[in-house]
Structure 1
Amino acid sequence: MTVYQDFFEGGAGEERTLRANVDAFERRRIIPRVLRGTGPRDLRTTLLGTDLSMPLLLAPTAFHLLAHPTGETGAAGAAAAAGIAMVVSMAATQPIEQIADTGATLWFQLYPQPDLDFQDRLLRRVTKAGVKAIVVTVDSPVFGHRTRDLANGFTDLPAGLTCANMDGRDIAMDDTLSWEHIDRLRAATGLPLVLKGILHPADAGLAVTHGADAVIVSNHGGRQLDGAIATLDALPAVLQAVGGRIPVLVDGGIRRGTDILVALALGAAATLVGRVGIRGLAGGPDGVREKIENLRAQLDHALALAGAQRPADLSPDQIS
């Protein structure tokens, strides 16, 4: 692999959590229902006011210009054509305004910054650009120990590339991050606030208490704490803690349509894919669109065989 492929594909430490995310889906089995007369399937869903053609979003991934010259705009254009949303990374290599010009439905991922004045300016900027939600990454008080990047000496972007929405500054990790920061963000924006990186059910309950509109069960794609629980294994307890009060999404390890079905059957409102989209972007916007449409076709087929017309027809007793 090249240095940049390692950046996208790698995880933290010995990459145990990276593998565990995939293995968790491999362990699950679907128990189909029969004679349900589903007819044509309907994959559409609405999430926090965002209409999606299927319960899938592109997860926030950094530095798209390392994958293809079209960068984030290429991925966003593919998402728009497919009728799904894209979560733009704070580490995007193109300006949010340029990405928004694709017409894609965008959410924006934020690492809470110690410089609150800059953070407020950034929130105003992305809101003006038309993003529909703020996705706050809460699992990164410090940067993950990413073995492949360290071995490759990949610590900086190549000349000519920057984090285009950071006004020339570095993204800061903040080890003082607390629920007070979430309260401040809640007060600072009228957009839906989504907390990404929830794994413990107690934190899921606190997210509701502190005004989150949704949570994403995520371990940062295995790129932060190596040895952390797989997201699919964490999902049921988080769902129980939330108790239906807000939507629960999940990412990590999703590689095929049946993986999406398993997550939806267990109770997730939608799923996100990161590496799948980046792998597609290596072939340009058409590559991203192909990956999305493959997942759509696989999910549609799996729903028919599982005896469901729409994702809401699935139930946890169909998964073992």
Structure 2
Amino acid sequence: MADEPLCVDDFEALAHARVRAEYWDYIAGGAGSERALAANRTAFERAALRPRILVDVSTVSTATTLLGRDLAGPVAIAPTAYHRMSHPDGELATARGAADAGALYITSFFSNHTMEDISAAAPDAPRWLQLYWLHDRGLFGDVVERAAGAGYEALVLTVDTPVLGLRLRDARNSLSLDPETIPANLTAAPTLLTTRTENSSAVSAQAVQAFDASITWDDLAWLRERSRLPLILKGIVTAEDARLALDYGVAAIAVSNHGGRQLDNPIGALDVLAEVVAAVDGRCPVLFDGGVRTGHDVAVALALGADAVLVGRPVLWGLAVGGAEGVARVLGLLRTELERVMALIGRPTIASIDASAVVLR
């Protein structure tokens, strides 16, 4: 790629110049005044790593295992919708880039390619499927039941979106989707998503129509009846819900405030990670999602107890700049930075990054 980016943040301005303005605002924006969006980043400023010296770091390995799957590193792709907003090849390029980087890709339900086509783009790569609970149980159940046959190894249910957060950028832009960005896993393309209405977001309007705000913990049994795949809940930010998730037999938990896109709350996702990790007490993996931009950020999250981190927006920046190559480059930069940080703090393996490696200021 020309003007080769040297860090993940370098991709942001390059991507901004390539993505249509209203689509960029959809990708970059947060809820309300975007305090939570900012808090996700400022939370990392309060975390400092504690280096140990005279440790043999001649060999540093980021290799890890998650739900029995060996991965090149503890950085996975968070589920984000509508990748054709960033690049014409959409999720097909994302899948190929993830495979090239040896990273887990959590595919969004609202992808611009079918789950089967995404799987076929990188058939041997690790992938999970993200879900939103829909009013249309027939459609929802069909997607769930197709997942295993399409090569997905787990289901990730996003649980922090009974309704969509107030996304002012999208409303001010009167956001609607072009036909090529319609979600492919829907059995019929909803015309609501392509309807432009002044001072209103078509994406928000479609979510009101599609999402089921009535579901409770007991509905998870219905989901389990339709798939034997491991179930991960994404969007847990309290110890209480972490313990309930364990009671209901989830395979893993993802600590996330939806990238600051739901509740306009000034607490950062990193601020609640230790609380959830303590509640889980090693009984299942804990993933972290929220504001990760550097290898230092990855190391901080691991030291606070995360088993892996998820990155969303940076992957879309890489996709916009260089397609599959850009995705792989973003993931590769994060892994290379993590390797350097591990060497500098005297932690040569992922398992050696523990709570003694970080202090919160």
Range into which the TM-score falls when normalised by the shorter chain: over 0.9
Counterpart residue number, 1:101 = 120
Q: 2:256 aligns with which of 196, 218, 224?
A: 218
Q: Distance in 2 between matches of 1:28 and 1:160?
A: 42
Q: Distance in 1 between matches of 2:311 and 2:186?
A: 24
- Report SS of the residue matched to 1:101: helix
Q: Which runs of 5+ in 2 are unaligned?
A: 1-15, 191-205
Q: Distance in 1 between matches of 2:319 and 2:55?
A: 38
TM-score by length of 2: 0.86
Q: 2:285 aligns with which of 243, 247, 266?
A: 247
Q: Distance in 2 between matches of 1:135 and 1:235?
A: 18
Q: Distance in 2 between matches of 1:206 and 1:33?
A: 37
Counterpart residue number, 1:126 = 147
Task: Kindly indicate whether the alpha-carbon contact (under 8 Å) linking 1:43 and 1:54 is maintained by their aligned counterparts in 2.
Answer: yes
Q: Distance in 2 between matches of 1:228 and 1:47?
A: 30
The yes-or-no answer on 1:159 pairing with 2:182 is no
- Report SS of the residue matched to 1:167: coil
- Report SS of the residue matched to 2:106: strand
AA paired with 2:327?
V
Q: Distance in 2 between matches of 1:243 and 1:34?
A: 29
Q: Distance in 2 between matches of 1:191 and 1:279?
A: 31
- Report SS of the residue matched to 1:57: strand
- 1:106 Cα offset (Å): 1.2
Q: Deviations over 1:193-231 (max 9, x none)?
A: 000000011000000000110000000000001115311
Aligned pairs (5 A) from 1:271-286 = 271-283=309-321, 284-286=323-325
Aligned pairs (5 A) from 1:1-320 = 2-103=21-122, 104-154=125-175, 156-168=176-188, 169=190, 172-227=210-265, 229-283=267-321, 284-320=323-359
Q: Distance in 2 between matches of 1:249 and 1:3?
A: 30
Q: What is the CA RMSD across the aligned residues, in angstroms? A: 1.2
Counterpart residue number, 2:11 = none
AA paired with 2:166?
H
AA paired with 2:156?
V
- Report SS of the residue matched to 2:330: helix
AA paired with 1:305?
L
How many residues matched? 319
Q: Distance in 2 between matches of 1:203 and 1:217?
A: 11
- 1:35 Cα offset (Å): 1.2
- Report SS of the residue matched to 2:70: strand
Q: Which runs of 5+ in 1 are unaligned?
A: none
Task: Kindly indicate whether the alpha-carbon contact (under 8 Å) linking 1:199 and 1:229 is maintained by their aligned counterparts in 2.
Answer: no
AA paired with 2:211?
M
Counterpart residue number, 2:193 = none
Task: Kindly indicate whether the alpha-carbon contact (under 8 Å) linking 2:145 and 2:226 is maintained by their aligned counterparts in 1.
Answer: no
AA paired with 2:132?
Y
- 1:113 Cα offset (Å): 1.8
Percent of aligned positions that are identical: 43
TM-score by length of 1: 0.97
AA paired with 1:130?
G
